[in-house]
Amino acid sequence: MRYHRSDVVARAITVLDEYGLESLTMRRLASELGVQPSALYHHVPNKQSLLAAVADEILQRGARPRRAERWDRRVIEVCAELRDAMLAYRDGAEVVVTAHTFGLGAREPSASLRSALSDGGLPGELVDVGTRAILHLVFGHTVEEQTAMQAASAGAIDRSPGGDSGFEQSLDLLLDGLRARASAG
């Protein structure tokens, strides 16, 4: 059999989803592909960049068409898409956030938020500050949510009681501040 980079990344995602991030090792992935660990390094320079590719693929698979017209509604839309994309795979949030922290991949959500805030007529500095603040909120919230969900499912609880546990609410708090400055600018 002949493998390509995309096969390696795809298989990495299934290992991630079935066994979790701590089980996603190069050796484990290699054996899952029926290949020696060293063979992986022909398709990927190292584990870090593999994880970055996994993060990008997770986001790409979660991509949805943009419907909203108002800039603030579009922010909510992008954030919901981002959150759903990360929640779709076990430890997905952790992988995406880590990749983003190290500046690897995962640049797309940032760009979408940026353009939404620009369309809102916010001054350039606030577009920057606002984009990062929104991302931190979504990332932090989703990692927490996914960790709690996975801990709960290990303990046989079906769902945490909160439903979306304040995701939209906290986003709305931040949007309040941005809207106030958009009309003032």
Contacts with DNA by CB under 7 A lie at 1-3, 23, 25-28, 34-39, 41-43, 46-48
Residues 96-155 that bind a second copy (CB under 8 A): 101-103, 125-126, 128-130, 132-133, 135-137, 139-141, 143-144, 147, 151
Which tokens sit at 142? 């989703």
Of the two residues 1 and 184, which places its CB atom closer to DNA in the complex? Answer: 1
Sequence length of the chain is: 185
Check residue 80 for interaction with a second copy (CB under 8 A).
no
End-to-end CA distance of the chain: 60
Q: Is residue 75 within 8 Å of 175, Cβ to Cβ?
A: yes
- In this chain, which stretch among 24-32, 34-42, 104-112, 164-172 interacts with a second copy, using CB under 8 A? 164-172
- In this chain, which stretch among 25-33, 48-56, 106-114, 175-183 interacts with a second copy, using CB under 8 A? 175-183
Residue for token pair 């400055």: 181
Q: Quote the CA–CA distance of 92 and 54 in Å, as a whole number.
A: 9
Phi-psi region of 27 (alpha: psi -120 to 50; beta: other; left: phi over 0): alpha
> Alpha-carbon torsion 75, 111, 21, 1, what sign?
positive
The set of residues, in sequence order, having a beta carbon less than 8 Å from that of 2 and lying 6+ positions away, is: none
Minimum gap (Å) between residue 49 Cβ and DNA: 9
Q: Which does 139 bind (CB under 5 to 8 A by kind): DNA, a second copy, none?
A: a second copy
Of the two residues 38 and 169, which places its CB atom closer to a second copy in the complex? Answer: 169
Residues that bind a second copy (CB under 8 A): 101-103, 125-126, 128-130, 132-133, 135-137, 139-141, 143-144, 147, 151, 166, 169-170, 172-178, 180-181
